[in-house]
C-alpha cells in the first residue's frame, strides 16, 4: 500500500491539472481579498447611519464553497484523465490490485484537498481581517480565529468530501463530462431546487446536501444560505461519509469487475 | 514462460478469443501474428490481467498476472504507446512506475538512456512523436528488468533506425534467456526478428511453429534451353516438375520440388543439358501468412474497416 500511495502521490504531483486547479484556488483567495477591499471602500464611503445596509457574504465560506468545486474537479480529473488517455491500463498493469489503486488515489487526494482547502480558507480569513480591519460589515465575522476554527475545519472536511465525491463519480462514469455534470448539479442546481421547495421539504433536502454539511457539522447551521440546518453535528458527519462512501463503493466494485 | 490455456473472451456477442491455447517459451522471440481483429491485443490484455476472460486462463511464470506482487519486475509490457498523459515528462512517467514496484531511481535514468530519450527526459510527453512514445513505452517495459516481455506493435511509428534498434533489442533480450512475445503487422520485420510464430485468426490458433518451418525452401527455379529434356530427366530422378512462368524464347523455366540445386546441377551435367540458372526459392513469411489467414480475414481491402 505504501508503494501505491507513493506512486499515486508522484502521479498527482506531476499531473498538470493539479497545478491548474490549485492555481485557481489561489485566484479565488485573491478575488476574496479584492472583494474585501471593495467592501471596505464602500463602507468607508457610506454615511455612518447607512453602513448597516451593507452586507457581504462570509468570505471564508465563499472560498470554501468555490474551493469545494475546484477540488471536486481535481478529484474527477485525477481519474478521468487516466481513462481519457488510456493510461489507466498502464496503471492497472503496474499495480494489478485495482482496489488498492483506488484507495491510494483517494488517500492522496484527501490530503491534498484538506491542505489546499484549509490553507485557502485561513488565507481568506487572514486577508479579510487585514483589509476589513475593525469595520463591522454585516456578514463578516469579527470573532477570533480560535472561535472560527471548528467551522474552518468542518469546511475543509467538506472540501475533502467533494474531492472524493468527484473521484468516485469519475471512476464510476469514466468520463470527466458526466462526472462534472453530476457534481455541478449537486453543488448548485439541486440546492436551488431545494430552496424553492415548499416547507418543510426545502429545509429537509437542503440539510442533507453536501454544501450544507460543513455548517451543520460545526454547529453553526447555515444562516443566510440555501443550506438547511436540521442535522446535528453527528448526523451531518454520517451524511458526509455517505456522500463519499456510496460512489466510492460502487466505483470499487465496478473497477474490479470491468475490463480496464 | 507464458501459458495461454483454452482462453475465451467475448465482448457482447462477439467472440474475440475462442479457446486459444499456446505457450511462449523463454530464450527466443515469439512473433504473434494475425489479421486485424484476430484477438492479439485482447489476448495480451488478458495475459496482463486487464481483461477478464470468459473461460480458460493465461499464466505468466505459472501464476496469474494479477497475483504478482511487483509485476514490473517479472513482466514488462508495451500495449499502447499513446496511453500516457502528455503533461508529464519521461522522468515523471517512469518515476511513478518505478516507485510503485520498488524499482530504484538509478534504473529510471539507465532505461531512459538505453532507449535514447536522455536528451528529452525533462520535456513534456505531449510534444513527442509516436516513435518517441514507443521508446518511452519500451523504457517502461524494461524498467523492472523483467524476465517476460510483451510488445504490441512496437515498431509502429519508428524510423528505419528505430526499427533496426527494436529488432536488435528483441533478439538481445531473447538471447539473455528472456521470454519475448512480439506482435507486428510488418511481415518482413517479423521474419528478421522472430524465431517462433504464433498465428491466430478470429480468436483461434492457426499456427504455432518455428519460423524456419514456415519460410523454408519452397522450390528450385531452373532455366534451360532444353527444358523439356531436363524436365524428363528430373522427373525420372524423382523430382516434381512444373512450368514456372513464361519462357524467354531460348527454352522454358521450370519449378522443381523434391530435388536440391546440387542434385539438379549434377543431373543436368550427366545428361549434358545446358543450364542457365538454378535458384532455390524460399517462401516468404508474407506468402505463408496470407495463405494461412486468407479464410479468416475479417476486414478485406475494399470493404470498410470497422
What is the share, in percent, of chain B residues with pLDDT greater than 70?
94
pLDDT greater than 70 at residue B250: no
How confident is the model over A155-172, as pLDDT tens digits?
999 999 999 999 999 999
Do A3 and B88 lie within an 8 Å CB cutoff? no
* Mean predicted lDDT score pLDDT of chain B: 89
pLDDT band at B303 (very low <50, low <70, confident <90, very high): very low
Domains of chain B: 2-74+146-214 (3.40.50.300), 217-282 (3.30.70)
pLDDT greater than 50 at residue A251: yes
- In chain A, what residues touch B72 (CB-CB under 8 Å)? 94
pLDDT greater than 90 at residue A223: no
What local confidence, expressed as pLDDT, does residue B7 receive? 95
This complex has an ipTM of: 0.86
Q: Rounded to whole angstroms, what are the CA distances from A239 to A59, A214, A221, A244, B133?
A: 25, 11, 15, 9, 45
Distance from CA of B17 to the nearest CA of A (A): 15
What local confidence, expressed as pLDDT, does residue A242 receive? 96
Instruction: Tell which residue, B97, B78, B156, B89, has the closest CA to residue B117.
Output: B89
pLDDT band at A200 (very low <50, low <70, confident <90, very high): confident
Domain holding A162, by residue range, is: 2-257
Total structural domains within chain A: 1
pLDDT greater than 80 at residue A6: yes
Comparing A201-210, B55-64, B134-143, B214-223, which segment has the lowest mean pLDDT? B214-223
Q: In this complex, is the C-beta atom of A97 within 8 Å of any C-beta atom belonging to chain B?
A: yes
Q: In this complex, which of A3, A90, A259 lies closest to B102 when CB atoms are compared?
A: A3
- In chain B, what residues touch A260 (CB-CB under 8 Å)? 45, 50-51
pLDDT band at B298 (very low <50, low <70, confident <90, very high): low
Distance from CA of B50 to the nearest CA of A (A): 5
Instruction: Tell which residue, A237, A259, A248, A246, has the closest CA to residue A106.
Output: A248
How confident is the model over A168-197, as pLDDT tens digits?
999 999 999 999 999 999 988 988 888 888
What local confidence, expressed as pLDDT, does residue B306 receive? 40
Comparing A216-230, B44-58, B114-128, B158-172, which segment has the lowest mean pLDDT? A216-230
What is the average per-residue pLDDT within A205-217?
A: 90
What local confidence, expressed as pLDDT, does residue A28 receive? 97
Do A89 and B79 lie within an 8 Å CB cutoff? yes
Distance from CA of A162 to the nearest CA of B (A): 24
Strand, coil or helix: A28 = helix
pLDDT greater than 90 at residue B98: yes
pLDDT band at B300 (very low <50, low <70, confident <90, very high): low
Higher pLDDT, A134 or A131: A131
What local confidence, expressed as pLDDT, does residue B6 receive? 95
Residue B242 and residue A157: Cα distance in Å, rounded? 85
Residue B199 and residue B222: Cα distance in Å, rounded? 33
Q: Which residues pair with B278 in a beta bridge?
A: B222
Residue B29 burial class via C-beta count within 10 angstroms: exposed 0-12, middle 13-18, buried 19 and up? buried
Which residues of B lie inside 8 Å of A (Cβ-Cβ)?
A: 45, 48-52, 65-68, 71-72, 77, 79-80, 82-89, 92-93, 95-97, 99-102, 140
How confident is the model over A9-46, as pLDDT tens digits?
999 998 889 999 999 999 999 999 999 999 999 999 99
Amino acid at each position: 500500500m505504501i508503494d501505491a500511495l507513493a506512486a499515486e502521490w508522484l502521479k498527482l504531483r506531476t499531473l498538470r491539472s493539479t497545478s491548474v486547479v490549485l492555481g485557481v484556488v489561489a485566484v479565488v483567495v485573491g478575488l476574496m481579498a479584492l472583494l474585501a477591499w471593495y467592501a471596505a471602500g464602500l463602507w468607508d464611503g457610506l454615511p455612518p447611519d447607512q453602513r448597516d445596509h451593507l452586507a457581504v457574504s462570509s468570505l471564508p465560506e465563499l472560498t470554501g464553497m468555490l474551493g469545494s468545486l475546484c477540488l471536486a474537479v481535481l478529484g474527477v480529473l485525477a481519474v478521468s484523465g487516466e481513462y481519457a488517455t488510456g493510461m489507466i491500463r498502464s496503471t492497472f498493469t503496474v499495480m494489478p490490485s485495482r482496489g488498492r489503486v483506488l484507495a491510494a488515489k483517494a488517500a492522496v487526494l484527501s490530503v491534498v484537498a484538506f491542505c489546499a482547502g484549509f490553507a485557502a480558507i485561513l488565507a481568506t480569513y487572514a486577508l479579510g481581517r487585514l483589509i476589513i480591519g475593525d469595520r463591522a460589515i454585516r456578514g463578516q465575522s469579527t470573532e477570533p480565529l480560535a472561535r472560527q476554527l471548528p467551522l474552518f475545519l468542518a469546511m475543509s472536511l467538506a472540501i475533502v468530501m467533494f474531492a472524493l465525491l468527484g473521484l468516485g463519480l469519475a471512476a464510476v462514469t469514466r468520463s470527466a463530462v458526466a462526472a462534472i455534470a453530476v457534481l455541478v448539479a449537486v453543488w448548485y442546481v439541486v440546492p436551488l431546487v431545494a430552496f424553492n421547495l415548499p416547507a418543510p421539504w426545502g429545509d429537509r433536502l437542503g440539510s442533507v446536501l453536501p454544501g450544507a454539511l460543513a455548517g451543520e457539522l460545526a454547529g453553526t447551521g447555515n444562516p443566510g444560505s440555501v443550506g438547511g440546518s436540521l442535522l446535528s453535528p453527528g448526523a451531518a458527519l454520517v451524511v458526509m461519509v455517505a456522500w463519499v462512501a456510496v460512489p466510492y463503493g460502487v466505483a470499487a466494485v465496478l473497477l474490479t469487475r470491468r475490463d480496464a | 514462460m507464458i501459458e495461454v490455456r483454452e482462453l475465451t473472451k467475448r465482448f457482447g456477442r462477439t467472440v474475440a478469443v475462442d479457446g486459444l491455447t499456446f505457450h511462449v517459451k523463454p530464450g527466443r522471440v515469439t512473433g504473434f501474428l494475425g489479421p486485424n481483429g484476430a484477438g492479439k491485443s485482447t489476448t495480451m490484455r488478458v495475459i496482463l490481467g486487464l481483461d477478464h476472460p470468459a473461460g480458460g486462463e493465461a499464466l505468466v511464470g505459472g501464476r496469474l498476472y494479477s497475483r504478482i506482487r511487483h509485476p514490473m519486475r517479472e513482466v514488462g509490457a508495451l500495449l499502447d504507446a499513446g496511453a500516457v498523459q502528455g503533461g508529464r515528462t519521461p522522468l515523471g512517467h517512469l518515476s511513478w512506475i518505478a516507485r510503485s514496484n520498488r524499482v530504484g531511481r538509478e534504473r529510471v535514468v539507465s532505461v531512459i538512456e538505453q532507449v535514447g530519450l536522455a536528451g528529452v527526459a525533462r520535456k513534456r510527453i505531449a510534444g513527442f512523436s509516436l516513435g518517441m512514445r514507443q521508446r518511452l513505452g519500451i523504457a517502461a517495459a524494461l524498467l523492472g528488468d523483467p524476465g517476460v516481455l510483451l510488445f504490441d506493435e512496437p515498431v509502429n511509428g519508428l524510423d528505419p533506425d528505430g526499427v533496426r534498434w527494436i529488432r536488435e533489442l528483441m533478439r538481445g533480450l531473447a538471447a539473455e534467456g528472456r521470454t519475448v512475445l512480439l506482435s507486428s503487422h510488418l511481415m518482413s520485420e517479423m521474419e528478421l526478428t522472430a524465431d517462433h510464430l504464433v498465428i491466430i485468426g478470429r480468436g483461434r490458433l492457426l499456427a504455432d511453429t518455428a519460423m524456419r518451418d514456415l519460410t523454408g525452401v519452397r522450390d528450385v527455379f531452373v532455366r534451360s534451353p532444353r527444358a523439356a529434356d531436363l524436365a524428363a530427366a528430373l522427373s525420372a530422378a524423382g523430382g516434381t516438375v512444373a512450368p514456372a512462368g513464361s519462357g524467354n524464347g531460348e527454352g522454358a523455366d521450370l519449378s522443381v520440388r523434391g530435388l536440391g540445386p546440387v542434385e539438379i546441377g549434377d543431373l543436368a551435367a550427366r545428361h549434358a543439358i545446358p543450364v542457365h540458372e538454378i535458384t532455390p526459392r524460399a517462401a516468404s513469411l508474407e506468402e505463408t501468412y496470407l495463405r494461412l489467414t486468407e479464410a479468416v480475414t475479417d476486414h478485406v481491402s475494399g470493404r470498410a474497416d470497422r
